[in-house]
Each structure stands twice: as structure tokens, then as C-alpha cells.
Structure 1
Amino acid sequence: MQIRRAPLIGLMLALSTTSGQAQNQDWWFEVEVLLYKQGQAVENLDEQFPQPVVTPRDKRAIDLLSPLLHPDTSGLRAALPTCRPAVPAQDKAFDVGDPQLLDTLQSQLAALASSANDNDIFASEPQALADQAQIVGAVPVANSAAWQAEDFVDLYSLQRVGCQYEFEQAWLEDLLVSHPRPENFVEQAPVWPNGTEQPYSQTPYLLPTDQLQLSQLARDLYRQRGIEPLMHLAWRQNVQFGRSKAKAVRLFAGRNFARSYDINGYPVQDDTLSNDLTTDDTSDAALDLMAQIDKALAEPLLLNTQPSRHSEAGERSDELWELDGLFKVYLQYINRVPYLHVDADMVYRKEGQPGLMGTAPMHIALPEQGKMAPADAIPAQFQLYGMPFDQLRRIISKQLHYFDHPMFGMVVEVRRYHPPTPPKDEDAQ
């Protein structure tokens, strides 16, 4: 019996070894996604979606679009040249802030310069050190001459020259403490985001638009009535085995509604209106401390295991895109054969008449949140509605796959990609 079992055990070991080697292999794919909206009105929808709809988020998600909209310019600021006086310092007019400190510094530098005959560093610029003392110990007057930039970056110029532009102050701040900077508000995402070819990259990257292979299909779609482009892009990424191990790619497209609506979909109120909103005096805040404690003890304890989908009225976000969500590609074995899967979890937003999908118009929703709206408040003409899109599908490489939604559509094509071998370093040869 043991002899008969040997071939079967060997076959199982061979299959498991092959499966393990396939999972350890670095599988790269080229993903091209074509997004378009179909021009359907919210009022004509048969489906009803509970509002508000939360945008899917994943801290591990790969974001290839945000660096295009908000590029990191800290490296460019660090590469900017420093500055120096346009004319000799002794010809400038200065208001001396501390004459005694200035005399002490000048005398010390003069003694140092006189004894620098054996020192090549200081002997080369004795007069420059004395000029520096005058610049450091003085404040230039308003009618002083302009400053000019050097043609190169020299760290010693920070010690040699008493000049500093605002961009240099930002440079030093970035080196010491990393802090967020105000970013420009982006109202519309690009329809054709353009990336850069990086054949030897070990991380996912966005492809340039000239490598899109579904351009003709996109043009045919846009000729149809009611079809408008949302986004057309392609990227390359390594694909993992298993849905839980795969990293999602964040996709967002269309208009950014963040300045017009809050995260609940209600129009953003003016500052004058928000200042007039007051809390009702009959709330728990008007009760004394003991009454609040008695009321809390009398009420049953409710444990909600589901995350709350509601937020305070007027709560805003920096980004409220027309289409936003996660797009995940992963491999999964089915009968020992690896199959590609696409998992799309997104939210599409569109304006519509107030009070749809079981929501209350803005002038009614504010009192329900415990706030008083002005008597002359004008009802809002539109509200923003979110419609979820959650589809999981097994796909085949190099085939077109359509994902349909009442408000938009998505065409996906995934192609196997074999990264080239990086060239050898000439120094290592």
C-alpha cells in the first residue's frame, strides 16, 4: 500500500510546489480603464440608495492621480539658488541694530583674517568675511539695492552671504520639520491623466497617454448620444494572489463638489447663515448635570457594531469627487488555475432635486439636526446624491470587460506585462 501511495504523494507535492512557485513569482499586469457617464438624471432612477453614501477608503491603497494634481515641489525649492548682494556690501546703506555687537564681530573677523596667511580657506576671502560681519549685524534700509541670484547652489553661501529669500526660509523649514502646506483646490480631474514610462520601476506607475490601446473604442463611445468622458487611463502594477492581500488603486474622476456640498450632499451654507444657526434651548445642554446623568442611566445602552454613515450637518471634506473609490486586481486559484479578478468599489455622485431617495431638503434637514434655520432661508435648488457601485468579477487577460451602472460605465482590459531586465551598472563591470 505504501508503494501505491508514493506516486500520488509525489504528484500532490509537485502540484503544491508549482502553486507555491507561481505565487512567489512577481506577476505584473497592465491595466487600462475607460470611465464614462451616461447622462441619466437622478429623478429618473428606479433604484433608491440610502443617503449619504460613504466613499470607500483603504489606507494601503495606491494613489497614482493625486501626485499629478498636487505635485511635491520641496525638491525644486531645495534646488533653487541662494542669493548675494548685487554690489559690494560697503557701498550699501544699513541701519545698524546693535553697534557694539557689530564692532566686536568685525574686530574678531579682522584678527582672524590677519592671521590666516597659513590657512588657504580664509586667505582666499579675507575681505568677504569682513563684509559678512557688516551684513549680519545690520538691517538693510528700504531703498537698498536689489539682490541677485547665483548660478549654483553653495551651502557655504549661507555663511558667507547675509541674504535670504522667502523660498529659502521654506527650504529650511522643510529640512527641519515636515509640515503640510496649503494646496490649490482642483475643481476638475483630468480626463486623460498623463504618466511617465518607467520600465524598471518596482512600484506601480501611471502610463503616458500615447500608450492607451482603447482610444478608438473611446472615440466610438463618445459619439453616442448622452455619453460623456470621465477618465481614460492605464497603469502597470504587480498583482498579488488572494483578495485580502491585493492592494487597491484609488480612482477618482470628474468634478470636485467639495466647495458646493457637504459630505451629506446638502449645499454648503454661507458664513453668515452658519453663524445664525443656534442650538435649541430645549436640548440636553439646558438641563443641569444631575438631570443629564439620570436621563443617561434611564436610557438603554445601544451597541452599534456597524460604522456610522451619518455625520453632522455642514461637515465638509477637501475632496468630494464625482466618481471616487477603489479598484483592485488580484489572482485567485480555481481548480489549480490562476484567474484574474477585478473588485471595484466606488461611489458616483450627481446633483438632483432636493428631497429624493428619502432625504429631507436642506431647510428641513437643519432643524432635524437641532439647529434653527433663518425664517427667510431659500430652499436649495439641488442636492448631491451618492450611488454606490460594488462589483466583483472574474476576467480573462486581453479581453474587454464592461461594468455597467445606471449613471456611468466602465471598460476594463488587463494585459500581462513582463518587465525588462534592468541594465547592469557600468561601474560593476
Structure 2
Amino acid sequence: MRLLTRLSNSHSLRPLAKPLGSLAVWLVPLAVMITSSMLAPTAVAQSKLSDPESWRWFEVEVLVFKHLDADTSENFPWLAPRQLRPTHDLLSSYYAPNFWALLFDLPVCPEAETETEAESPAIRAPSLWCAQQAELDLEQRRPWYQPELMLRSLAQAPTKVVSGYNGDINTATRPFLLDASQHQLTEMREQLERRRVGTPLLHVTYRTPVFTRNQNYSLRLFGGKNYGHEYAPSGYQLPPIVSATDLPSQPEAALTDSEAVAPASEQLFTELNWLLEQANQQQLQLNYSDTGTPNPPPLRQPRPDNQRTEAVWELDGLLHIYLVGNYLHIDSQLELREPQAVRFNQRQLSAQVEQALQQLTATESTSDWFLRSYRLEQLRRVISHETHYFDHPKLGLVVQIRRTDRSARR
């Protein structure tokens, strides 16, 4: 009993009289220690990214092609397109350069002076090496000056063989493209075309820093045809184009209840009679079968001719090269898009009826097409200065990773 009394009166156990304060005294430092230990790897990784002097640079050459004799007997799954988020995109600025910096470096064109015919014997042509004042007005930028719009307007990538402008890994802070003279897979690319084995979609060489996997330092690769003028990124065909002046205005499209009831009722009876007639002729069969194909598209409303579309490239995806210790790894996430006739999967009876009614209003027989996706997703540990081939029934990927003077760990 005396021992307990002494312990209770001891200075070392006085905080027990205030349990909340005691817990706070012990838990706060513990939480700080745990948080510090969890954030330590992230802090180290961020410090490496922020210090270009410690970066390990490699030279990467990539050749992507699609097979001409692709095996059509294999059943591929119908895949929805992915939304990829690359760390770097070197090809967009290469395909559609931004001329604004060059334009702003030009001198302003002098204002035209009013001269008589006698004073001006020759017509002065405007200089190509000066900028008009209207061109420098940020509020009046011409759409064709915008690289994003230029990229969307392309029918296909300007080139299959990318020839960059080089750079210096000793001062660079981001990846950069190399000149085509640095390509070492040129003979392979030419043999693919000469022997009609495959069609090259992209051949590019670049230098890039390589980090650990957690940094997700990936590069976007794309090229080939631009299907954005015919298909949406979802894979469905775009609605037909009509002139903006032909679209009904809001006042004309708005009808009163009494004006809208009669046409709607007549249309409803017309559709019901047509469906009954098709059912009697056994041309309309409703079922719940799942064919595995994409769902039917929503009703396509005509779109104005001035509506902008998104670029949908034949080849698009990511290439992620990273290090685990001193071992290089390649994570390929490429996607090939090809139009294909499809019979849409009707999982709901209402959708089947809706598709049947579209045949009633169709002026001509049309087949359904879908921009199908084929994916090449492979992860492999590789060795530098060797040629690595990633195969797929539809496309092929060839990669070489070459060491530079700044590839060693520092």
C-alpha cells in the first residue's frame, strides 16, 4: 500500500492524473516519426527530380509498325478506349510547332503610306519578315496559329520518321528528340516496307532521364492516321454535318403544347404500326443475348459544320522506361485503332426497339462502324544496347535503349 502511495505521489507518474495530456505528449512525437518515415522516400524521390545533376540519361529509339498480314482469325476483346496521362509529349510540338515565339521576334511591319501612282511606280509587296499589328494582338489570334487546332486538322501525322533538333543532356531539364541520323533501326524499317511485312507508324529517337517506377516518367507516342474527322474518341461515328444556318433556331424549334401533341401522336402510331408489321413478318426479334460487342451509340443529332472535333490517332499510347536498381524496364501501353463493321450489342429491349425505329427513318441503308481498339501492353526487364521486340497480332514495337555519358549513377 505504501508502495502504491509512493508511486502515485511520484513526479514521474504525475501526468497519469491527466490522461489526455499524457497521450498527447506521447502520441504527437510518435505521429511525427511515422509521418516522417512515410514521407522520406517521397521526399528523396522529389529531391532527385528537382536536381537535374543527378539524373541518369539514356538514349531511346522506338519503331512502331502495324502488321500487313494480321491474323484475322483470332478473337480480340472489344475494349473501350483509355484516357492516358503522359508525363511528357514531344511529338505534339513537333507535328504542330508553335510559331508565336517566332512571330513575336519579328519586327512590326511599317504602316502603309498613301502615295500617288506617280510617286509609287511599283506596287510594294508586304514583307514576309515582319509581323502585322493585328497578328500580334492576343485578342485576335487566328485559329490556324493555335498548335492544338492545327494538330486536330491533320488528316495524318506529317511524318513517320521523326527528325528532331537534338539537345545537350548536360544542360537539358526535359527529354528531347534527336536527329534522324541517330537512328540505328533504319535498315529494319526499310526491310519491313520492302518485304511488305508491316507499315511503319512511327520511328523516333530521343534522350530522356530515367527514374524509378514510382515517378511514372512516361512519354506519349502517337502517329498514323487521324480518325477524328470521322469518329469520336469513344469509337462511335460522328453525326452528319449540316450547315450552321440550316439548324433550327431556338424560337423556331419551340412549339406550344397544342402544336406539338398532334405530330407526336401521329408519329407514335406510325412507329407502333411499323413495329407490329415487322414483328408479324418475323423481321423484328427481341432478345437478351450478349454478343460482347459495344453498346449502341446514342441517337446522333446533326452537328454544325463549325463544331471542332478531337484528334483520334491510329496509334496512341505511352512508353514508360524506368529503373529498378541498375536494371532497365520497359512498360508499353500502346493502342491501335482500326475501323470495323459491327453489330452493336443490344442488352436492353428499349435499345433494340430504338435501333429498329432508326431503320424506319433512314433514307438509305447504312452499316454500323466502330473504331476498334487493340492494345499492346507488355512489361519487360531489358538490357541496354540490345534490340527488344514486343509482338502483337496487330502491331509490333521495337525498342533500343543506349547508354550515354550520363547514364551511370552519381
TM-score tier (shorter) = 0.5 to 0.7
1:325 is matched with: 317
Match of 2:61 among 32, 53, 56: 32
2:84 — aligned with what? Answer: 57
List runs of 5+ in structure 1 lacking aligned partners.
Answer: 1-15, 94-144, 154-164, 283-308, 421-429
Shift in Å at residue 399 of structure 1?
1.1
Q: Could you say what secondary structure the match of 2:232 adopts? A: coil
Corresponding residue pairs, total: 300
Q: In 1, Cα distance between the equivalents of 2:239 and 2:48?
A: 56
| Equivalent residue number for residue 346 of structure 1 | 334
Aligned-pair CA distance for 1:54: 1.7
Cα contact 2:236–2:297 (8 A) shared by 1: no
Work out the CA distance in 2 between the residues paired with 1:32 and 1:398.
10
Aligned to 1:222: 193
Secondary structure, in 3 states, of the residue corresponding to 1:83? coil
Show CA shifts across 1:253-273 (max 9, x none). Answer: 211111112223233332259
Shift of 1:371: 7.8
Q: Which one-letter code corresponds to 1:48 in the other structure?
A: F
How far is 1:393 from its partner?
1.1
Which letter does structure 1 place at the counterpart of 2:361? P
Q: Residue 135 of structure 2 corresponds to which residue in structure 1? A: 170
Whether 2:191 is the aligned partner of 1:193: answer no
Correspondence for 2:107: 81
What is the TM-score of this pair, normalised by structure 2?
A: 0.60
CA contact (8 A) 1:351 1:384 kept: yes
Whether 2:15 is the aligned partner of 1:46: answer no
- Provide the rounded CA distance (Å) in 2 between the counterparts of 1:54 and 1:373: 31
Structure 2: how far apart are the matches of 1:73 and 1:390? Answer: 36
What is the aligned counterpart of 1:239 among 171, 186, 210?
Answer: 210
**What is the match of residue 250 of structure 1?**
220
Query: Which residue does 1:417 correspond to in 2?
Result: 404
CA contact (8 A) 2:219 2:320 kept: yes
Offset of residue 146 of structure 1: 7.1
Q: Does 1:401 align with 2:393?
A: no
Amino acid in structure 2 at the alignment position of 1:230: L
Using the alignment, how far apart are the partners of 1:22 and 1:81 within structure 2?
Answer: 42
Q: Distance in 1 between matches of 2:327 and 2:367?
A: 49
Distance 1:68 1:367, change over 3 A: farther
* 8 A Cα contact 1:264 1:311, kept in partner: no
- The structure with the largest helix share of the pair is 2
Q: CA deviation at 1:355?
A: 2.4
Partner of 2:375: 388
1:161-209: per-residue Cα shift (whole Å, max 9, x none)? xxxx7x3223131799x99574261111221011012124232001111
Letter of the 2:311 counterpart? E
CA–CA separation in structure 1 for the residues paired with 2:357 and 2:103: 48
> After alignment, is 346-355 or 262-271 more displaced?
262-271
CA contact (8 A) 2:70 2:393 kept: no
State, as a whole percentage, how many aligned pairs show the same letter. 27
Residue correspondence of structure 1 range 303-314 to structure 2 within 5 A: none
Deviation at 1:407, TM superposition (A): 0.5
CA distance in 2 between partners of 1:31 and 1:71 (Å): 22
Change (3 A) 1:76 1:371: farther
TM (normalized to structure 1)?
Answer: 0.58
Q: Shift of residue 74 of structure 1?
A: 0.8
Over 3 Å counting, the alpha-carbon distance change for 1:74 and 1:64 in structure 2 is same
Assess if the C-alpha contact under 8 Å between 1:41 and 1:352 holds in 2: no
Please identify, of 230-239 and 192-201, the stretch whose mean Cα deviation from structure 2 is larger.
192-201
Q: Is the 8 A contact 1:264 1:313 kept in 2?
A: no
Q: Deviations over 1:197-235 (max 9, x none)?
A: 212423200111111011122223333344211111110
Residues 29 and 417, structure 1, Cα contact 8 Å, conserved in 2: yes
Would the alpha carbon gap of residues 22 and 365 (structure 1) be closer, same or farther in structure 2, given more than 3 Å must change? same
SS at match of 2:381: strand
Contact 1:84 1:149 in 2 (8 A): no
Unaligned ranges ≥5, structure 2: 1-40, 254-263, 266-294
Give the RMSD, CA atoms, in angstroms: 4.5
Cα 1:226–1:383, aligned 2, differ >3 Å: closer, same or farther?
farther
Q: Aligned to 1:244, what secondary structure does the other structure show?
A: helix
Q: Secondary structure at the match of 1:240?
A: strand
Distance 1:236-1:340 versus aligned 2 partners, 3 A rule: same
- Three-state SS of the structure 2 residue aligned to 1:54 is coil
Letter in 2 for 1:201: A
C-alpha change, 1:85 and 1:238, in structure 2 (3 Å) is closer
Q: CA deviation at 1:317?
A: 4.7
In structure 2, what is the Cα distance between the partners aligned to 1:187 and 1:79? 30
Q: Specify the SS of the correspondent of 1:217.
A: helix
Separation in structure 2 between the aligned mates of residue 359 and residue 396 of structure 1, nearest angstrom = 48
- 1:9-24 mapped onto 2 (5 Å cutoff): none
Instruction: Supply the distance in 1 between the matched residues of 2:341 and 2:55 (Cα, whole angstroms).
Output: 50
**SS at 1:183 equivalent:** helix
8 Å CA contact retained: 1:350, 1:384: yes
Please state how far the C-alpha of 1:411 moved relative to its aligned partner: 0.6
Measured against aligned partners, the alpha-carbon deviations of 1:298-329 in whole angstroms (never above 9, x if no partner) come to xxxxxxxxxxx998566985111111011110
CA distance in 1 between counterparts of 2:299 and 2:233 reads 9
Change (3 A) 1:255 1:369: farther
| Preserved CA contact (<8 Å) 1:341 1:393 | yes
Three-state SS of the structure 1 residue aligned to 2:137 is helix
Aligned partners of 2:343 and 2:368 also within 8 Å:
no
Partner of 1:267: 237
